[in-house]
A and B are shown apart, each in its own frame.
Chain A
Amino acid sequence: MAKLKSDNPDQCISCNICLTACPVARATRKYRGPKLTGPALTRLRMLIEDQDPMLQYCSNCKNCDRVCPSGTPISTLNMKARSAYYKKNPHTLAEKILSNNELMGKTITSIPFASTIANLGMKITKAAGAFEIVGMSSKAPFPTYAKKSFSAMFKSISQPKCDKKVLFFPGCYVNYNEPQVGVDLVHVFNHNNIEVLIDDNFVCCGSPMISAGYIDKVQHNADINSKILASYAKQGIDIITTCTTCALILKQEYDELFELEAVKEYNVHMYDAIEYLLNMYERGELKTDFKTLNKKEIYHTPCHLKVQGYGKPTLKLLNKIPGVEVVDADAGCCGLSGIYGYKTNTAEVAAIVGSKLQKTIKESDAHEGVCECNICRLQMQNNTGKKAYHPLHTIRQAYGI
């Protein structure tokens, strides 16, 4: 059937509220805002073709979607237009490299010492200016690779047998860059008598590919992931994510982009890890044998969490831990938005957008940053002199496990 939802610009009433919420439009005049690039030009693109340099400026942060009073899938219209544009125009080398995150991660974490070499290599290449040559920014905070993937580490954790089970979708970042987040999750859930399952057949959610304009390739990933997710949901098993971007893609964008029926079967069973724990807390099911920690944390809300509209569970839950004070940074978008912050042509914009958050964190008297999103955390640590953790880190600390 017709791709009504996402190809249809009719929801938009041109109110321009999205323009006021767009961090990119605020940072640069090169981008004329979400309404024009999305719904308005979608109508024109059905009529004529043209080179449209504005298409690369949308960071897909989805603040436009969040504030739209009409429910227009603005950012999806943008991503679709970008993808269509790349069917006729070549990708940059940077887009090719950056959208290959899964393959790189898999390769590097499966060879002993490869991560050390890769991380070192990245530093050397950066220093040698090779990043600029392929169109990647050397100033952006690149993630490092882990020595061992999360799925490898997961296998060596011996979990207690529990009646209650959840399925965890780790995503590439936890799998290949920061497996500790996944490990913390398993321990925290086990402490609450919940066993964590993972499924080796999951593939990358596809977010970097969407941003780089390879939507067609994502359809394959969407088919695989949605089938797996639906099969667990059917058995009544809840699905947990820690990456807010993966969550958004799985819960909502597969449907917007490809109208996958399976999405409706599982998305009501999907929860962010902290949202899940807070729900348990509110039902009186969460263990509260917390130690007193004595620290102050500054919390940044990822854009992709905001747009899902379930509040800010991390602020609520961490504040239940004795001795922990969490303040809300309330400093807008981190700017990086996945691969957006790493391509030279948009890194400049990302740096302007992210500067407010960096300044707020630097000037704050908090000891450390806390945030669900992996990429946001990189920006929170970038020249701020502070470390940033996933909230599960603090919760595990408080449990003393």
Chain B
Amino acid sequence: MLTTEVVIIGGGATGAGILRDLSMRGVKAILIERGDLGCGTSSRFHGLLHSGGRYAVRDKNAAIECIEENQILRRIGKHCVEPISSIFIRTPEDDEAYEGTWLEACKEAGISTKPLELSKLFEMEPNVSRKVKSAYLCPGAAIDGFRMLWQIFDSANRHGGKTLTYTNVIGIDSENGKVVGVTVQDMHSKEIYKIACNYLISATGPWCSRVAQLAGIDINVKPSKGSLIAFNHRICTNVIHRLHKPSDADIFVPHGTVTILGTTSIDSDPDDNSTSQEEVECMMKIGEATFENLRDYRILRVFAGCRPLYSAGNSSGRNASRDFAAIDHGKEHGLANFMSVCGGKFTTHRQMAQKVCDMVCPVLGNTAKCTTHEVPLIEEPSEQLMQRAKAVFPSYAAELAENRQGAQRLEQLVKDIEKDNKLGEIVCECENVSRAEINAVAEDSTSHSISDIRRRTRLGMGTCQGTFCTYRAVGTVKSLKKDWTEDTSKLFREFLEARWKGIRPVLWGNQMRDVDLTRGIYEVSLNINHEEKKHE
């Protein structure tokens, strides 16, 4: 039987942070995720590295945590953080009195707020509404969730941490009021087996209640769904917030090649990540106060995630505390060596992990100190490697590949292309993803579908939403002859359906024309919706 000290359930930011922290303290740990890494809330979020400004008035502690972690992640996660700023703008619709309160609260929390002259604002952000009354510069930034998770796992793995993806935890095993392990099922082979451990941490975000239920424990985690709209290009250079009491659709985050507007807050089932057209319309209306020409920008798609809001009482939605909860089930429910961790933010995942490990490690007899804030997630590439990369990749692609894959993998990619220059060809033109990169990620043991490759490369996440790169990617992975690449019609369907899901609620204008083109290629030319007829 597989045995380890700690089992962590959930491959989102929280679980990843805990795995890295434990591994760096020398605790043996295995993380179990039922899907791909980051397939839950941690890839269905806004991508904002909070400065704390949003929470300063209502929740000073949360604001302080944000600004502390903001500084740390900018340092240790350089490849995942776009070091831009946040601009808070007050529009005519926003309460003027709030401005003073907010400035005071930011000052108390140690968040810098630099007043921006409007002429300077319009120079920096030419698309922002000319009706803006005042503006402040804060240290918020954009953070790439997929990439950071991937790099946290890499870092954890280097310290001995292990991960099992596509593995569902279906039972919690206990003896004498103590957790002794979990029962899991391999989602591909359907095999069921047990893993023994001394301690179990559930970091399953909005699914925390369900997992606790496996041990017969009731906890009150209210999933609250938030929807996000992705626009085709960067309509702003910095994050743009409305300067008012936190509310729906009041933040735009420029994220890689796109801009994301969000969000909403609706009580829901944790598995529900749908978005309605009404929600989109509602957000667009609000968004127009920030960008008057918002409707001229093309919406690529929508997506949604569920916040894991923990409350001891019954409050839900935006009023529940954002602070995280670490519930010691030994103390609270009489089942020792089991803890549920939920709530918090992506921004503060490292600090949450540190606090959790500070509680768990003494139980295991480990007294090591947390060092996760001191060590960068991945190494910087050498100047020489970047030069070699620039020589073999098309323009722009070298830096993007380095950011996505890190120096170590980049070196292998460069070697691959140096050997066979055809591997330098771009498969996804919208996001500049090369064949070499697709091959390398497809070869990784955690890849089982084109969507898995997408999460690590941004394949298919740009303008064409898979119209041209899907068949290229399927062709590319098919030639690798792996188990999961045999059934190409399955690969096509899985990826295109996932793209389609996000496009459906925004099916108008150019996006509708784009979808028609996609259908022309896949339904008409490639006929993927019809199984091959068997001849008698």
Contacts and interface: CB of A to CB of B under 8 A. Distances in A.
A14 B234 contact: no
What DSSP secondary structure best describes chain B's contact surface? loop
Contacts of A53: 395
Interface string A220-256: 0000000000000000000000000000000000000
A155 B233 CA distance: 53
A374 interface: no
B517 A2 contact: no
A4 B293 contact: yes
Given A36-B429, A46-B233, A10 B257 contact: no
B429 A43 contact: no
A255 B468 CA distance: 32
Contact of B432 (A11, A14, A44, A54): A44
B296 interface: yes
B510 A70 contact: yes
Contact of A43 (B127, B233, B467, B513): B233
Given A3-B126, A46-B233, A10 B395 contact: no
Contacts of A43: 232-234, 257, 430, 462-463
Interface residues of A, number: 32
A316 B126 CA distance: 47
A344 B426 CA distance: 28
Nearest to B510: A13
A32 interface: yes
Interface in A36-83: 36, 39-48, 50-54, 70
B334 interface: no
A53 B390 CA distance: 12
B430 A14 contact: yes
B381 interface: no
Given A4-B293, A16-B468, A10 B396 contact: no
A9 interface: yes
A8 interface: yes
B83 interface: no
Interface in B240-270: 256-257
A157 interface: no
A44 B468 contact: no
Given A32-B394, A44-B432, A46-B234, A39 B400 contact: no
A10 B237 CA distance: 17
B82 to A, nearest CB: 8
B233 A9 contact: yes
Interface in B99-134: 126-127, 130
Contact of B517 (A15, A35, A48, A51): A15
Interface of B: 126-127, 130, 232-234, 237, 256-257, 293, 296-298, 390, 394-396, 398-400, 426, 429-430, 432, 462-464, 467-468, 510, 513-514, 517
B296 A50 contact: no
Given A42-B233, A51-B395, A53-B395, A2 B400 contact: no
Contacts of B394: 32
B256 to A, nearest CB: 6
B396 A52 contact: yes
A194 interface: no
B131 to A, nearest CB: 13
9 contacts: A1-B126, A8-B297, A9-B463, A10-B233, A11-B298, A36-B429, A40-B429, A44-B257, A70-B510
Nearest to A70: B510
Contact of B430 (A8, A40, A70): A40
A70 B257 CA distance: 21
B450 to A, nearest CB: 18
Nearest to A44: B396
Interface centre among A2, A3, A4, A39 (most CB of B within 10 A): A2
A54 B432 CA distance: 15
Contacts of B234: 43, 46-47
A4 B400 CA distance: 26
B226 to A, nearest CB: 25
Interface of A: 1-4, 8-16, 32, 35-36, 39-48, 50-54, 70
Interface centre among B126, B237, B395 (most CB of A within 10 A): B395
Contacts of B430: 14, 40, 43
A47 B296 CA distance: 20
Contacts of B127: 2
A54 B517 CA distance: 27
Contacts of B513: 13, 70
A2 B126 CA distance: 5
A20 to B, nearest CB: 14
Contacts of A70: 510, 513
A16 B463 CA distance: 12
Nearest to A3: B126
B463 A39 contact: yes
A108 B429 CA distance: 48
Contacts of B293: 2, 4
B386 to A, nearest CB: 11
Nearest to A69: B513
A33 B296 CA distance: 26
A9 B232 contact: yes
Contacts of B463: 9, 12-14, 39-40, 43
A256 B468 CA distance: 29
Given A13-B510, A14-B463, A47 B468 contact: no
Given A4-B296, A15-B517, A52-B395, A47 B467 contact: no
Interface centre among A45, A46, A51 (most CB of B within 10 A): A46
Contacts of B256: 47
Contacts of A2: 126-127, 293
B400 A48 contact: yes
Nearest to A10: B298
